[in-house]
């Protein structure tokens, strides 16, 4: 989810400062606090009780509907009937593990791998993006013999012990272990340069040198190519390639975390690393893979996977089970049959064009950026590029009052993170524009 702590702190339900909650919400919050305890974190100053969802719409317990421009897990649309039916049919027939043969996981593995460059010919199935990134770290460290990993300053790659170590946004202190280095995100808005890719590559090179100087052999650069938790940095396409080339020249691996940009979201390519013309050594997947069914995967080269399997091996009880395969196949079918990648490209461009038009009238909108249906809207103090997190928080809560669900990202939590289900249309974008205009005008 890439929710950095301070982002949540700006947009979370605070029990102590709670408004008067309505009956059923208040009762649920009370029950929740009793069981979830301190781990309970809810979106919004006044949390939402959701009872059903369909396509791009979520419905609360009062019957009110909300346009969902936040959730990228139900990537082909909430409760998509083809995915739900595939899950239902398979769950009633067979759900076991990959120590037995069954046809659909192999069909799925072949369909999935066909979308990758040919050298990435092996897949290991997991249940979550966290498990995928944890396995990727094991593979990269095993292959290189190094511990050193480079990530961006606000990276979030998951929740296991090892993955938390490479997810500085998870920790209040942002501290990372001595074998991890962080590099600044490729932010060409706050701090523009002519060649953002060259700058990013230089930071990666410095980080590699610093790791090696301190006795930590370099293993991998691990990034999400849309830089979701850092604030969404997509352009220009290809900028990431220079850094990946630096990584390869240093003998390291590039782990492409495709949990956010993967499965066609960026509009022109199935995988975000392809948009940058970069050569990935390990690719990790999660969230949108099963449209909400818990599944993830790691795609890599046999020369990376084989030695790991000989020394340690990997088995994931639920990973690649036939219900996951059925869900995953249905997602690929819907992506193809409904033309969702192309839709992401067309509607994404329309969406950013509309937002840029609005930014002319509302100087609080400092920057609009992204690719396909992943857009960042950065709020700045007018006339400056100084981050305005208060405005982002205001907009998020005011948009909710207008019936639109949205979140924030970035180091200063001042960037709206807009990543709706891929069935989002121009009509939905128009609803968003009208609401944003109203919300910004009220504050102007």
Task: State yes or no: residue 263 binds a second copy (CB under 8 A).
Answer: no
Task: Single out the residue of 39, 145, 213, 442 in contact with a second copy (rule: CB under 8 A).
Answer: 39
Stretch that binds a second copy, among 28-36, 189-197, 268-276, 388-396 (CB under 8 A): 28-36
Cis-peptide, bond into residue 274, ω within 30° of zero: no
- Counting contacts by CB under 8 A, is residue 326 touching a second copy? no
Report in angstroms the alpha-carbon separations of 360 from 184, 192, 355, 442: 29, 20, 9, 16
Task: For residues 66 and 72, give the distance between their C-alpha atoms in angstroms, rounded to a whole number.
Answer: 15
For 360-392, b where at least 16 C-beta lie within 10 A, e where not — what string?
eebebbbbbbbbbbbbbbbbbeeeeeebbbebb
Tell me which of 22, 51, 236, 384 binds a second copy, using CB under 8 A. 51
Q: Does 53 bind a second copy (CB under 8 A)?
A: yes
Going from the C-alpha of 237 to that of each of 148, 268, 415, the distances in angstroms are 27, 10, 20
Residues 282-311 that bind a second copy (CB under 8 A): 286-287, 291-295, 302, 305-306, 308-311
Nearer to a second copy, 99 or 213 (CB): 99
**Residues in 394-413 that interact with a second copy by CB under 8 A:** none
Rule CB under 8 A: choose which of 65, 115, 117, 122 binds a second copy. 122
If one asks whether residue 118 binds a second copy (CB under 8 A), the answer comes out as no
272/268 Cα distance (integer angstroms): 9
Closest to a second copy by CB, 52 vs 426, is 52
Residue from 10, 67, 76, 123 binding a second copy (CB under 8 A)? 123
Distance in Å, CB of 140 to a second copy, minimum: 11
What is the rounded CA–CA span in Å between residue 42 and residue 44? 7
Q: Does 359 bind a second copy (CB under 8 A)?
A: no
| Cα 128 to chain centroid, rounded | 12
Please report how close the Cβ of residue 288 comes to a second copy at its closest, in angstroms.
10
The DSSP call for residue 412 is T
Q: How many residues at the interface with a second copy, by CB under 8 A?
A: 100
- Residue 194 DSSP class: S
**Does residue 91 interact with a second copy by CB under 8 A?**
yes
């Amino acid at each position: 989810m890439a929710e950095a702590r301070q982002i949540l702190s700006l947009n979370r339900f605070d029990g102590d400062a709670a408004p008067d909650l309505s009956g059923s919400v208040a009762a649920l919050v009370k029950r929740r606090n009793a069981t979830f305890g301190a781990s309970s974190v809810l979106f919004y100053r006044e949390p939402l009780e959701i009872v059903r969802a369909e396509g791009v719409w979520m419905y609360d317990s009062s019957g009110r509907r909300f346009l969902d421009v936040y959730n990228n897990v139900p990537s082909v649309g909430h409760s998509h009937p083809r995915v739900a039916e595939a899950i239902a049919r398979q769950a009633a027939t067979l759900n076991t593990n990959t120590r037995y043969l069954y046809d659909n996981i192999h069909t799925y593995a072949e369909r999935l791998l066909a979308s990758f460059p040919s050298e990435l010919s092996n897949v290991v199935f997991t249940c979550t993006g966290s498990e995928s990134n944890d396995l990727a770290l094991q593979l990269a460290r095993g292959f290189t013999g190094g511990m050193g990993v480079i990530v961006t300053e606000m990276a979030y790659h998951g929740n296991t012990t090892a993955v938390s170590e490479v997810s500085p946004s998870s920790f209040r202190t942002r501290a990372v272990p001595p074998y991890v280095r962080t590099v600044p995100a490729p932010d060409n808005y706050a701090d523009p340069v002519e060649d953002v890719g060259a700058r990013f590559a230089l930071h990666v090179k410095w980080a590699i040198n610093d790791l090696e100087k301190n006795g930590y052999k370099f293993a991998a650069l691990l990034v999400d190519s849309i830089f979701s938790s850092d604030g969404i940095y997509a352009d220009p396409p290809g900028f990431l390639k220079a850094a990946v080339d630096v990584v390869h020249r240093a003998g390291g691996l590039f782990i492409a975390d495709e949990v956010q940009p993967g499965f066609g979201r960026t509009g022109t390519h199935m995988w975000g690393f392809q948009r940058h013309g970069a050569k990935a050594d390990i690719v990790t997947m999660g969230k949108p893979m099963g449209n909400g069914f818990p599944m993830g995967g790691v795609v890599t080269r046999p020369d990376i996977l084989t030695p790991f399997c000989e020394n340690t091996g990997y088995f994931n009880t639920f990973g690649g089970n036939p219900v996951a395969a059925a869900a995953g196949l249905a997602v690929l079918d819907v992506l193809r049959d409904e033309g969702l990648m192309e839709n992401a490209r067309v509607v994404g461009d329309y969406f950013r064009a509309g937002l840029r038009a609005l930014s002319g009238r509302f100087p609080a909108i400092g920057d609009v950026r992204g690719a396909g249906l992943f857009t960042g809207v950065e709020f700045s103090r007018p006339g400056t590029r100084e981050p305005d997190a208060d405005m982002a928080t205001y907009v998020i809560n005011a948009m909710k009052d207008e019936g639109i669900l949205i979140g924030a990202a970035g180091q200063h939590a001042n960037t709206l993170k807009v990543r709706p289900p891929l069935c989002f249309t121009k009509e939905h974008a128009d609803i968003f524009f009208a609401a944003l205009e109203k919300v910004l005008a009220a504050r102007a």
